[in-house]
Amino acid sequence: MDDLTYCQRAGIYADEVLDEDIPACKFVKQSCERFINDLSREDIYLDLDVANKWCRLLETFPHVKGKWAAKNETLKLSPYQIFCTVNMFGWKNKETGLRRYREAYIEVPRKSGKTFWVAGVALGMMTWDGEYGAEVYCGATSERQALEVFTPARAICLRLPEFSDHFDIIIGRRNLAMIDKFSKFEPIIGNPGDGASPSCGIADEFHEHRTTDLVDTLVTGMGARDQPMMIYITTAGSTIGGPCYQKRSDVINILAGTVQDDTTFGIIYTIDEADEWDTIESQIKANPNYGISVNKEFLAAELEKAKRSPSKQVTYKTKYLNCWVGAKLAWMNMLAYQACQKNKLQLNYYSGQRCFIGIDLASKTDVASMSILFPPSESRRKWACFVNNYLPEDTVLYSGNTQYRAWHAGNHIITTPGNVLDYSFIEDDLKQLVSNHDVVEVIYDPFQATQFSTRMVGQGIEMIEYGATVKNFSEPMKELEALILKRDIMFTKCPVLMWMFGNVVAKLDKKDNIFPNRDNERSKIDGVVAIIMSLARTMHHQTNDLPAGYEMTVL
């Protein structure tokens, strides 16, 4: 292929993926199909000269560590890196001549060469992109991570003096600068504050970011730039409710064509839902640099460790197959849960139907949740579940959790005024549910709920106390997992509930009992707890509430 241009090699890569000559998951196939289809569009074009020059520039940069550096070798772009580079920098708008893509989301397993490649991209954006006064920032949650991209870029400048001299680069300990052009490249940590005007921002290992603060600052500062680029580069993580997973979900919708966004390039290397995780074939599919920068023998050894030790399976799946597995000792199969989410499911579809309501009030300054669970009926074989989540307004506004603000703006969280929960809002919602549906029971955890229960009983609502014990929770928790794995239950598409399911961890005791826990104080699981309580009482009434021939299946 040495006689082919980089753009030709990008096209061949796309063709081989789509012809299944190169094993790839559906997200990679969709990205390749998008590339091929876009070649016939009339409003955009692939600038072959620019794309090829970008690839040539990157391949002039010397390796700075490992066996390739010891041999004084330069970067040799692998097929997936060529494909990403050509896409990111080659596509132009015909009307303006400016770059099409302003964002790039690239998710690949560890050891795929992403850090050194993006370090080269950062140098190109500072020196070669044609932006006067270029500002390039690599942002991360810690100094160590922020330096992961900056350090090799700095080392390139030291090892390639002709490049540094040509662009008059001053090499500082934490800064690269072109004084005459007023351009610079710097690492930044956490929330950098306003004031910068980035031409390129890099969010390295984006899965480690708990909030969007850093990215928001970079993106909002790009308004004065003609063709800025925000690059998200990451492996999979364990925080399903975090900003990285949300960005990933957005990219998946773009690749599937359900969301139209012509400014975002995305590619995700992982395995498909139906694939067996413990095979060499899955390693090859998930790792685009398999046998190049990813050592085959090393991966094979890691697989054998994961097969022997269940505790190592989560790490293996996350880091080497790029699977998002929820919490670090996750209870729920999140792919199965996501398959149970329904965009058009609405509570008013179930007016007058029998249901069980579970309420977890937690503390007055924290999340409270109400689950409304409808068992199957003679006319409807699937369960349906709705969850309301409540927070004090001050917690949403001032807790520092930007997810809460985003979820509230999307109507996924109900707020009550002030800094403590006003239970009257929950009481009013409960009374409305009782008037609109055939509520069999309202189940509640007595912790924090005695006065609430007393008031509801005074309103004629039957309240059932249900303590949070292993004995009470084990069987319904297993049943909930079984319903989700069998796709026998439907949920509304709610990022708050998905985050809560991803936060649940569970450990079997000697009698095979389980109980829902969370892996840290910031993780909330109240919605899941409310569902388990409502399901527990449904199981108690199952002979009356379930249709003939329907059997519950506890795992």
Q: Name the residue type at position 117.
A: W
pLDDT mean across residues, the chain: 89
DSSP character string of 248-298? HHHHHHHHHTSS--TTEEEEE----TTS-TTSHHHHHHH-TTBTTTB-HHH
Condensed to tens digits (0 to 9), the pLDDT of residues 3-26 reads 899 999 999 999 999 999 999 999
Condensed to tens digits (0 to 9), the pLDDT of residues 270-291 reads 999 889 999 999 999 999 999 9
Rounded (5°) CA angle 257-236-100:
40
The DSSP bridge partners found for residue 138 are 187, 202
3-state DSSP assignment of residue 384: strand
Quote the longest CA-to-CA distance of the chain. Answer: 83
Pairing of strands 463-465, 44-46: unpaired
Predicted confidence band at 435 (pLDDT cuts at 50, 70, 90)?
very high
How far apart CA 81 and CA 483 sit, in angstroms, is 41
With CA atoms as reference, report the closest residue to 169 among 75, 180, 159: 180
List phi, psi (to 5°) of 330.
-60, 140
Better-scored residue on pLDDT, 326 or 279: 279
Condensed to tens digits (0 to 9), the pLDDT of residues 330-378 reads 688 888 898 999 988 999 999 999 999 999 986 777 899 999 999 998 8
Its CATH class, for the domain covering 335-545, is alpha beta
- Structural domain boundaries of the chain? 6-268, 335-545
Condensed to tens digits (0 to 9), the pLDDT of residues 43-55 reads 999 999 999 999 9
Global pTM? 0.67
CATH code of domain 6-268: 3.40.50.300
- Please determine, for residue 554, whether its predicted confidence score (pLDDT) is greater than 70: no
Q: Residue 29: which residues within 8 A CB-CB, separation 6 or more?
A: 17, 18
Question: Which contiguous run of DSSP H or E holds residue 345?
Answer: none
